[in-house]
Amino acid sequence: MTDLSQCIAIEQGQAAHNIFLVTMASYDDWLKEQPERWRSLLAAQNFSAKAGQFAILPEEKADQWSVVAGVADIDALTPWCLAKLAEDLPAGTYRLSDDVKAGAAILGWCLAQHSFDRYQSTPEKKEARILLSSQWPEAEALAIEAQATALVRDLVNTPAEDMGPEALEGQAQTLAEKYGAELEVVRGDVLEQGYPLIHAVGRAASRHHAPRLIELHWGNEDHPRLAIIGKGVCFDSGGLDVKSATGMRLMKKDMGGAAHALALASLVMRNKLPVRLHMLIPAVENAIAGNSFRPGDIIKSRKGDTVEIGNTDAEGRLVLADAFTKADESEPDLMIDFATLTGAARIALGPDLPAMFCSDDKIGRNFADLSQDVHDPVWHMPLWQPYEEMLKSPIADTNNIGGAFAGSVTAALFLKRFAPTEGDWFHFDTFAWRPTPRPGQAAGGEALGLRASWHYIKARFG
């Protein structure tokens, strides 16, 4: 994976190309102060200072030149306002002129230089475009967030054959070795006995994609307990309630929740946050075989509640239920889960906005505000208790589906049944995918809600 820390450097007065930032409102005044040759060149290019537009301006020597770029607001740069520059400018070192602070734009500058080229025989290699910053360590912190985002993108983009349960375990093992964490993996007969929902969903997969519960433990036992859980359905055929070909096409991304959990855990450990971290990933492939679990089956969860299977394509909530129960046994102060859980959330909110549910509405509203502040927006959704009626089963404690209405809400209510009784709980129903590219945001796997969660955890425990 690209080392995005190479995309920034500390400002020490070194040689660099200047980037002049202008807005459509300020451009005319700026232009009046520039050499005539620049004014002529910009006029010939129809440069108007629209956000995202830029032009290269030659200096006296052939190897010296500057850049002028349009942004919406020079005093409030967003993560993506310089991303197109980082994508398209020649390799080299740059600084923002007039003592402008890059701020949040560091994130997009770094991510614009990330690419997923694992499967390309001759990948295009670009040298880094380095942005100088006098805001250290803030710039370094944003580069670290960019690296965590890139990890999610790479894991989600990897095809299911190369990112099955065993590969997810390998990713967790890498983190454990890097940060001195303890890794525990439950599989086989122990999984079947102790985590029957996880086992049932994953039992039809081939041996090398066998189901497992991956647990990572890190930090001081005396610190507040933080549980991070990610849905690790490495491929989802739908089971016997099989998906259509179109619906199955993107199901390599159904482990996007696990990718978020790994990335968030890496941020916690890399920054040495004073918490006792417990990361859990129920890793399965929802395959089709003679031993697939069936619609109408009733399975007893780790918690002891019985679940009637209304649809085998609502499998993510099943594996999460057993992982929730395990996490709750350690009595976490805060539990956060990420899951590519429902199409209903995407119908309601589209691809960019994760649906966020919280056990405490006031905390949830505050989180939603914070997510806007850090440019990683989520949308606060209700755990609407009257809809629990939709999950009733005439022959079991609950059903795993809730009918035609409010699909993301009923899925969250199902999970709430297994969530901690003490401590706070956040559930993110995220897409983990970007269908269309934007500067700094390539089409494909995407981290949504990751940075907002990190900033919340850091503010709460740091």
- Chain segment 353-374, per-residue pLDDT in tens: 999 999 999 999 999 999 999 9
Distance from the first to the final alpha carbon of the chain: 28
Whole-number Cα distances in Å, 446 to 114, 147, 154: 12, 12, 9
Percent of the chain's residues with pLDDT above 70 = 100
Q: Would you name the residues annotated as active-site residues? A: 243, 317
| Least confident span in 44-48, 62-66, 328-332, 414-418 | 62-66
Average pLDDT over residues 63-84: 95
Residue 5: alpha-carbon gap to chain centroid: 19
* pTM tops 0.75: yes
Q: Is the pLDDT of residue 125 over 90?
A: no
pLDDT for 1? 67
Of 208, 98, 125, 225, which is closest to residue 162 (Cα–Cα)? 208
Q: Please give the DSSP secondary-structure letter assigned to residue 148.
A: H
Average pLDDT over residues 159-168: 98
Q: What SS3 class is residue 393? A: coil
Helix (H) or strand (E) holding 95: strand 92-96
pLDDT for 2? 75
Identity at 86, one-letter amino acid code: A
Q: Is the pLDDT of residue 84 over 70?
A: yes
pLDDT category at 251 given cuts 50, 70, 90 is very high
26 burial type by CB count under 10 A (0-12 exposed, 13-18 middle, 19+ buried): middle
Average pLDDT, the chain: 96
pLDDT category at 457 given cuts 50, 70, 90 is very high
